Amino acid sequence: MIRSLQDLIVHHNRATGSLTKDISSKGLSLKKGDVVSGKVLDYNRSGQAKLLVQGKQLTAQTSVQLTKGQLAQFRVEQTQPNYIFKVFTGAGMQNNALQWMGSAMQASPFQIFQNLFQMIEKNADNSNQKNLMQLVHLLSQMAIKPGDTITPYYLMAFMQRSGLLWENKLKQWFTGQKDINHDRLKKLLQQDFKGLALQAHQNIPDEALEVKVGLEQLIHQIEQWQLLNHKALSENGKLYFMLPLLFGNNFQTGELLIDVSDSKKGQKDPSESMLKASLLLKMSQIGPVKVEAVLFKRQLRIDYWMSNEESINLFKQNELFISKSLGIHGIHIQMIAYHLTDEKQFDEISLIQDIVKSNQHLNTFA
């Protein structure tokens, strides 16, 4: 295990046919202070290492002794003219575990999988495609599509399929079985993203290194997501979801944060507590949108953050529809507020930031 905090000077690998070129033509999506997961693909005694970070293969020069196959966490110290990473120590991770886990979630497991599958589609050998088709099918089932009506049961169904509850489902399956029923286990696998990813990783031949490493990163990212929610819920009363959005053949990721921390204060009755939900969508047509909704005694306040007046006007035109839809469930809108925000600021926004803020408070009503 790495225990030092030495600098790694990192460059993009531009070699023809490299994993960087195959997976994506886009650069790394990193800023100073981010903490990212990476895998050491190769290391030699001269201090040169090959890393896989956010699906990109990078070369690095380092004085840190690394081990081939090792998973590590890196903190971004500099982005220009070259990336400079520092290996994140175990001690550093323990000092602010929520912040570390939150930063490590910058890449969605769904985005990692899309990049991985796009790489495989370019390969004439479709045997690896077949191993991943069940994951493609399940992701399509989970994804929110244009025109979808999101019912109260969507989030529960999403949690069941996302991989967040995989170990809990296995526990229930094993404890509830007198005889091992492999057909039932197969059905369990077919409806769990993490379970299918683990199965696909097992089935992919060792020769397909890029695919196996991509699946390892996907599985690792789901596990970070599980750990983040376990700690955030127990300590902060918050749950964080990355929601796959499907536009045509392109997957994007929305963020949803549910805050029930008010109900934990003095063992309040749920009916006397505030519930807060935040949603962040970065859509191509109307631009990025952040929504915060606070519900208290069936009175709702909604705040929108958008990057242009046209989008604000579009949402204003639909206020009556939203009010009637909520009224059916006995919820009344007290106030709707709109905030115009520079689109560049959205690049720095993630709902994970609300988890790590120890002084975060719920909005209150006037």
Instruction: Say which CATH number the domain at 363 has.
Output: 3.30.750
Q: Are residues 293 and 347 in the same domain?
A: yes
Domain boundary among 105, 124, 142: 105
The reply to whether 277 and 356 lie within a common domain is yes
Would residue 80 count as lying in a domain?
yes
Kindly state whether residues 275 and 350 are assigned to the same domain.
yes
Closest CA to 236 of 348, 91, 362: 362
Least confident stretch, 222-231, 299-308, 342-351:
342-351
**126 and 78 within one domain:** no
Query: In this predicted structure, which of 11-20, 267-276, 298-307, 342-351 has the lowest mean pLDDT?
Result: 11-20
Helix extents (H) in the chain: 19-23, 90-95, 97-104, 109-121, 127-142, 154-162, 166-175, 182-190, 193-203, 209-236, 309-317, 319-327, 343-346, 352-356
Q: Above 50 in pLDDT, residue 150?
A: yes
| Residue 254 included in any domain | no
| Residue 361 domain boundaries | 260-366
Q: Nearest 10 degrees: CA dihedral of 121, 123, 129, 135?
A: -40
pTM: 0.69
Determine which of 36-45, 98-107, 162-171, 267-276 has the lowest per-residue pLDDT on average.
Answer: 98-107
pLDDT surpassing 50 at residue 93? no
Same domain, 141 and 166: yes
| Shared-domain flag, residues 115 and 221 | yes
Helix (H) or strand (E) holding 335: strand 332-340
Sorted by sequence, the CB contacts under 8 Å of residue 148 that are 6+ apart come out as none
Query: Is the same domain home to 198 and 307?
Result: no
Span of 127-131, 210-214, 307-311 with lowest mean pLDDT? 127-131
The predicted pLDDT at position 1 comes to: 30
> Who has greater pLDDT, 316 or 90?
316
In a domain, 1, yes or no: no
**How far apart are alpha carbons 282 and 194 in whole angstroms?**
25
What is the sign, positive or negative, of the torsion defined by CA atoms of 247, 250, 251, 256? Answer: negative
Q: How many helices and strands (H and E) does the chain possess?
A: 14, 12
Q: What is the pLDDT of residue 127?
A: 66
Which strands form 275-283's sheet, in the order they lie side by side?
Answer: 238-247, 250-259, 275-283, 287-296, 299-306, 332-340
Q: Count structural domains, the chain.
A: 3
pLDDT in tens, 169-209: 888 887 766 666 677 788 888 899 999 999 988 888 877 77
- Whether residues 59 and 127 share a domain: the answer is no
Name the domain boundary from 105, 129, 155: 105
Pairing mode, strands 332-340 and 299-306:
parallel
pLDDT for position 268: 66
Q: How many Å apart are CA 254 and CA 290, to the nearest integer?
A: 10
Instruction: Let me know: does 297 contact 271? Beta carbons within 8 Å.
Output: yes
pLDDT tens per residue, range 240-297: 998 888 877 777 788 899 998 888 776 667 777 889 999 998 766 788 899 999 999 8
Per mean pLDDT, which range of 2-16, 121-135, 240-254, 343-357 is the poorest?
Answer: 2-16
Residue 212 has pLDDT above 70, yes or no: yes
Please tell me whether residues 136 and 219 are part of one structural domain. Answer: yes
| Assigned domain for 19 exists | yes
Whether residues 81 and 112 fall in one domain: no
- Which residue carries 């050491």 as its tokens? 40
pLDDT of residue 117 exceeding 90: no
Indicate whether 365 and 282 sit together in one domain. yes
**Average pLDDT for 24-30:** 51
How far is Cα of residue 337 from the mean position of the Cα atoms in its chain? 28
Question: Is 91 within the bounds of a domain?
Answer: yes
> Does residue 238 fall inside a structural domain?
no
Tell whether 117 and 48 lie within a shared domain.
no
Between CA 328 and CA 323 the distance in angstroms is 9
Q: Is residue 240 part of a domain?
A: no
- 2 found inside a domain: no
Residue 337: what pLDDT?
95
- Domain boundary among the residues 83, 105, 127 is at 105
